[in-house]
Amino acid sequence: MTDEPSSKPLVLDSAAQSASDELPAFLARPAGAPVYHGFPVIAESETDGWYLGTITDYADPNGCDCGDAYVVAPDGSRAGLVWQVGEGVIQQVLPPDAERWGVYSIWFAQPIHTTDEFVAAFRRVLPELQSIHAHAVNELNRNA
């Protein structure tokens, strides 16, 4: 038995336009497309103008315990999320840059079985993400 992590299936936005006839949209973003273009935003997640998007498949009848996602702020800016089940504090994985206000490791309390559970878990961490966004935007504006 190995301890190597298993890969998760990607969830692609079939409506996203690609800049290439041969590559999916997330690998060939059209000019001006935001980071994480090609991965779907979960419409049901809308909370005061904030949205959750998914990169890896999260719905699992046995419960999904980790994955990759992203958050879209009301101003359209985005940040990456590396999520897992357990306890911990949100930590920065990558700092803000020109395309996103960072990538963050976040924790959900329980495994995810459905979209409703995924959205509920997102809403529980949203206040912290809003605070991180405000700080990141202030820092980016100060350094501009």
Residue 53, in any domain of the structure: yes
pLDDT tens sequence across 41-67: 999 999 999 999 999 999 999 999 999
Where in 40-90 does DSSP place strands (E)?
Answer: 41-47, 50-54, 66-72, 78-85
Q: Which strands, in side-by-side order, build the sheet including 41-47?
A: 41-47, 50-54, 66-72, 78-85, 103-108, 91-94
Residue 13, in any domain of the structure: no
Residue 88, in any domain of the structure: yes
Residue 31, in any domain of the structure: no
Number of domains in the chain: 1
What are the average pLDDT values for consecutive 10-residue runs of the chain, which has 144 residues?
70 96 96 97 98 97 97 97 96 94 97 98 98 89 73
Residue 4, in any domain of the structure: no
**Residue 91 belongs to domain spanning:** 41-143
User: What pLDDT shows up at residue 1?
Assistant: 46
Residue 22, in any domain of the structure: no
